[in-house]
Structure 1
Amino acid sequence: MGGMLALPPGQGPHQVGCTDVMVGHTRQGLFLRLFYPCLPRAGATEPLWVPRPEYCGGLADVTLGRRWCSALLGIAIGSCTVPVSWNGPLEPRSGGYPLIIFSHGLGAFRTLYSSICAELASWGFVVAALEHRDHSAATTYFCTAEAGREEWIPFQRVPRGQKEFYFRNKQDNLDLTKVAVMGHSFGGVTAVLALVKEPSFRCAVALDAWMFPLENLLYPEVPKPVLFINTEKFQTPESVAKMKRLSSRNSQTRIVTVLGTVHEDQTDFAFLPGKLFSLIFSRRGTLDPYKALAITSRAALAFLQRHLKLQEQFGQWDELLEGVGDSVAPDAPFGRSHL
Structure 2
Amino acid sequence: MRLLESILLAVVAATLLSTLSLGQKRPRPTLGLCALGALIALLQAALEGARWQIVPAQALLVLVAVAALLSFRRPAEDARKRKRWPRLLAITLGLLILASSAALAFVLPVFSLESPTGPHAVGVSTFEWTDSSRPEVRSTDPSARRALVVKLWYPATPPPGAEPARYLDPRVAAGIAGGLRLPGFVLGHLALVSTHSVPGAPLAPSDAPFPVLLFSHGLRMHSDLSQFQAEELASHGYVVVGINHTYDAAFTLFRDGTSVTFDAWEHMGSQKDMDKYISQRLPVWVEDARFVLDRLAALKDEDPRFAGRLDLTRVGHFGHSMGGAAALAALAADPRFRAGLNLDGALFGVSADAKPSQPFMLVTGEKLKATDRQLQRMGMTRADFDGFVADMEQRWKRSISEPSGPRYRLEMQSAGHMELSDASLILTVMPGSMPPRRAHRVVNDYTLAFFDTHLEGAASPLLNGPAVEPTVEFTAFSR
> 1:105 and 1:53 mapped to 2: Cα distance?
20
Counterpart code for 2:258:
E
Query: 1:261-280 counterparts in 2 under 5 A?
Result: 261-272=415-426, 276-278=427-429
Counterpart secondary structure, 1:98? strand
Larger RCO: Structure 1 or Structure 2 (Cα < 8 Å, ≥ 6 residues apart)?
1
Amino acid of the structure 1 residue aligned with 2:251: T
Residue 258 (structure 1) aligned with residue 412 (structure 2): yes
SS in 2 for 1:257: strand
Equivalent residue for 2:330?
194
- In structure 2, the partner of 1:334 is none
> In the alignment, what sits opposite 1:184?
320
| Equivalent AA in structure 2 for residue 324 of structure 1 | A
TM-fit CA distance, 1:107: 0.8
SS in structure 2 at match of 1:170: helix
Counterpart of 1:330 in structure 2 is 474
1:336 is matched with none
In structure 1, distance between residues paired with 2:164 and 2:343 = 26
Give the secondary-structure state (helix, strand or coil) at the position aligned to 2:153: strand
Q: Which amino acid aligns with 2:114?
A: P
**For residue 315 of structure 1, what is the aligned residue in structure 2?**
460
Cα distance in 2 for residues equivalent to 1:149 and 1:11: 35
Shift of the 166–286 alpha-carbon distance from structure 1 to 2, 3 Å rule, reads closer
Q: Residue 211 of structure 1: CA displacement?
A: 1.4
The one of 226, 240, 246 aligned to 2:360? 226
**CA deviation string 1:251-271 (max 9, x = no partner):** 511111123210111111222
Q: Give the deviation of 1:297 after TM superposition.
A: 1.3
**Partner AA of 1:73 in structure 2:** L
> How far, CA to CA, are the matches of 1:323 and 1:158 in structure 2?
44
1:157 aligns with 2:293: no
TM norm structure 1 = 0.82
Name the counterpart of 1:110: 223
Amino acid of the residue matched to residue 276 of structure 2?
Y
Match among 186, 189, 194 for residue 72 of structure 1: 186
Mapped contact 2:232–2:444 kept (Cα < 8 A) = yes
Aligned partners of 2:447 and 2:344: how far apart in 1? 13
Query: Quick one: structure 1 residues 234 and 304, their matched pair in 2 at CA, closer, same or farther if it must change by over 3 Å?
Result: farther
Asked if structure 2 preserves the Cα contact closer than 8 Å seen for 1:243 and 1:255, the reply is no
Deviations 1:275-297 (A, max 9, x none): x433xxxx332223222212111
Unaligned runs of 5+ in 2: 1-47, 50-108, 132-143, 294-311, 370-388
Corresponding residue SS for 1:130 = strand
- The reply to whether residue 20 of structure 1 matches residue 126 of structure 2 is yes
Instruction: Name the CA distance, whole Å, in 2 between partners of 1:165 and 1:108.
Output: 17
List structure 1 runs of 4+ shifted beyond 6 angstroms.
none
Counterpart position of 2:233: 120
Instruction: Return 120-129 or 245-254, whichever deviates more.
Output: 245-254
**Alignment-mate amino acid for residue 51 of structure 1:** D
1:241 aligns with: 394
SS in 2 for 1:140: strand
2:290 to 175, 182, 192: 175
1:152: Cα distance to partner? 2.7
- Is the 8 Å Cα contact of residues 16 and 122 (structure 1) preserved in structure 2? yes
Amino acid in the other structure paired with 1:45 = E
3-state SS, counterpart of residue 21 of structure 1:
strand
Tell me the CA shift for residue 245 of structure 1: 0.9
**Alignment of structure 1 residues 71-90 onto 2, 5 Å:** 71-74=185-188, 76-90=189-203
Post-superposition shift, 1:187?
A: 0.3
Residue 162 (structure 2) pairs with residue 44 (structure 1): yes
Cα shift at 1:311: 4.7
Partner of 1:287: 434
How far 1:80 sits from its partner (Å)? 1.7
Deviation at 1:124, TM superposition (A): 0.8
Distance in 1 (alpha carbons) for counterparts of 2:254 and 2:178: 21
2:150/2:242 contact within 8 Å kept: yes
In 2, are the aligned partners of 1:59 and 1:108 still within 8 Å (CA)?
no
Q: Which residue of the partner structure matches residue 204 of structure 2?
A: 91
Residue 212 of structure 1 deviates from its aligned partner by: 1.8
% of aligned pairs identical? Answer: 24
Deviations 1:181-232 (A, max 9, x none): 000000000000101221100110111112122233x23x423221011111
Q: 1:95 to 1:155 in 2, by over 3 A?
A: farther
| Amino acid in structure 2 at the alignment position of 1:292 | A
Q: After the TM superposition, which of the residue ranges 182-191 and 43-52 deviates more from structure 2? A: 43-52
Worse-matched range after superposition: 115-124 or 36-45: 36-45
Structure 1 residue 19 displacement after superposition: 1.4
Quick check: 1:55–1:138 contact (8 Å CA) kept in 2?
no
Measure how far apart 1:304 and its partner are.
1.3
